Structure 1
Amino acid sequence: MGGTEHLTVRREGATLVLTLDRPEARNALSLPMLVGLHDGWLEADADDTVRSIVLTGAGGSFCSGMDLKALAGDGMRGQAHHDRLKDDPDLHWKAMLRHHRPRKPVIAAVEGHCVAGGTEILQGTDIRVAGESATFGLFEVRRGLFPIGGSTVRLPRQIPRTHALEMLLTGRPYSAREAADIGLIGHVVPDGTALGKALEIAELINACGPLAVEAVKASVYECAEMTETEGLAAELARGRPIFATADAKEGARAFAEKRPPDFQRA
């Protein structure tokens, strides 16, 4: 199992839990963190026993975005793992889910700060849970910067455009309740319980047919920008083969026999 000095990886049953682990800097992005994230997504994709992924942060914060002190100085050069970035100049975008979409569902468990790059990574996740004191926002314009992690494209597709533009153009913070009201997150829970709620959701996903889950996720994203006619055709093309799988037959048998299904990913 992978991980780096700023990213820990552990298993909770069929769920891979990735934890941003740089609490002294509110989990500001570092090169070791990005390398760990990149490798974590690939590990989950490659391991068929992983059925879901939970992304969270250590020390009461999710992610405070780019390390501005490093940016003001020498960037990320000199940090460990710089050879990985040299070998794959796109690694950081894959790590932040800008240029990579894991085939397994990704659930974000947010406590504390989830701002700037944190809110950008959040937009690459599928299901989002936050503690009631969590803070969201895209602060880049306040620093004279651009939210280049995908927010000007993704945010208006995920929440109403007027809310997306307000978040992007004012750079102001949003409470968890406000983020839920505009549709950025799905659940607001008591502080300290976001991870537990995310793992509960992951368990519900893990109990479902893995081939069906992955096909449903792929279909949602694949069809998002299609016309309705195109999307319905694409849905049939992706969904029909699922009915011919052994897992589909097992699901029907288990229902008839009033027992939990034993899916074999076949």
Structure 2
Amino acid sequence: MAGTEHLSVRREGATLVLTLNRPEAKNALSLPMLVGLYDGWLAADEDDTIRSVVLTGAGGCFCAGMDLKALAGKGMEGEQYRDRMTADPDLHWKAMLRHHRPRKPVVAAVEGHCVAGGTEILQGTDIRIAGAGATFGLFEVRRGLFPIGGSTVRLPRQIARTHALEMLLTGRPYSAAEAAGIGLIGRVVPDGTALEEALAVAERINACGPLAVEAVKASVYETAEMTETEGLAAELKRGWPVFATDDAKEGARAFAEQRPPVYRRA
């Protein structure tokens, strides 16, 4: 896939790297970016040679949220993509991972600003790594807006409610250390190394059985709101078929033969 003028795409082995690429505007969301993101998620879902996705931003910044100038009626770049939005009015929510969950694991590599819509997209990712100088926060209430990208629902399910409400109701910025302390991100690394670390995590994922990885991810999310009894039953339905795959047999053989496994999604 080619990406768009505000969304760069490249392959690193079995990893698809999606880069928010509008650094002059701190990677604020635009039509070309949203269309590119959505196409990227679809490409990852449909291409079985892709085993993981890394989402990052260009120019030392992740994403500063929605383009407020466009929201104020000054026009948004990329009007040539308007027909895509017309054809699928839900496209922007899918792009922002509000109404779409990719099959493959998504690792976020954050540097610089990851605020407002950036923090909302972040909540749709699976593993989150940030440079020490990264900044997080949901600033919408400070501007009289509502964080409608899913944060009032997702954030209290991902971090303690008291932390979620403080972030949502004060609109204040959070450092990377604070974000890690409340569980919004998983790991803080030296500035400028988040992408390198994210690619290393993705490579470790890629070395695992893809059918097992996808089943594990699906199970975690689909059982999140179930009772323990319901969740354990659902886990068995997801998990037992994995044991019957050729990949499972290959994993055992490779272990016994002390060699790297060669998985074939079978």
After TM superposition, the score normalised by the length of structure 1 is 0.99
Q: Which residue of 2 aligns with 1:227?
A: 227
Q: How does 1:203-242 map to 2 (within 5 A)?
A: 203-242=203-242
Deviation at 1:80, TM superposition (A): 2.6
Contact 1:2 1:39 in 2 (8 A): no
Any idea what SS the aligned residue of 2:10 has?
strand
Alignment of 1:56-71 (within 5 A): 56-71=56-71
Q: Report the Cα distance in structure 2 between the residues aligned to 1:176 and 1:80, rounded to whole angstroms.
A: 37
Question: Contact 1:130–1:194 (CA<8 Å) still a contact in 2?
Answer: yes
Extract unaligned runs of 5+ from structure 2.
Answer: none
Q: Hey, what does 1:126 align to over in structure 2?
A: 126
For structure 1, which runs of at least 5 residues remain unmatched after alignment? Answer: none
Amino acid at match of 1:98: R
Within-5 A mapping of 1:149-168: 149-168=149-168
- Equivalent position SS for 1:80: helix
**Which amino acid letter does the alignment assign opposite residue 213 of structure 1?**
V
Offset of residue 74 of structure 1: 4.0
Percent identity between the two aligned chains: 84
Aligned to 2:246: 246
Structure 2 partner of 1:54: 54
Q: Which amino acid aligns with 2:176?
A: A
Q: Give the number of aligned pairs.
A: 266
CA distance in 1, matches of 2:75, 2:147: 17
Partner in structure 2 of residue 73 of structure 1: 73
What RMSD over aligned residues (CA atoms) do the two structures have, in Å? 0.9
Partners of 2:42 and 2:170 in 1: CA distance:
35
State the Cα deviation string for residues 205-237 of structure 1 (Å, max 9, x = none). 000000000000000000000000000000000
What secondary structure, in the 3-state scheme, does the structure 1 residue paired with 2:114 have?
Answer: strand
2:10 matches 1:10: yes
1:138 aligns with 2:124: no
1:75 offset after TM fit, Å? Answer: 4.9
2:108 is the alignment partner of 1:111:
no
- Output the CA distance in 2 between the equivalents of 1:23 and 1:155: 27
Q: Which amino acid aligns with 2:144?
A: G
Assess if the C-alpha contact under 8 Å between 1:2 and 1:40 holds in 2. Answer: no
- In the TM superposition, what are the counterparts of 1:24-63 in structure 2 within 5 Å? 24-63=24-63
* Mapped contact 2:30–2:77 kept (Cα < 8 A): no
Q: Quote the Cα distance in structure 2 between the aligned partners of 1:78 and 1:264.
A: 40
Q: Which amino acid aligns with 1:138?
A: L
Shift in Å, 1:204 = 0.4
1:145-181: CA deviation from partner (whole Å, max 9, x where unpaired): 0000000000000000000000000000000000000
Offset of residue 73 of structure 1: 1.8
Supply the distance in 2 between the matched residues of 1:204 and 1:238 (Cα, whole angstroms). Answer: 22
SS in 2 for 1:56: strand
Between the aligned partners of 1:259 and 1:176, the Cα distance in structure 2 is: 39
Cα separation, 2, equivalents of 1:80 and 1:184: 36
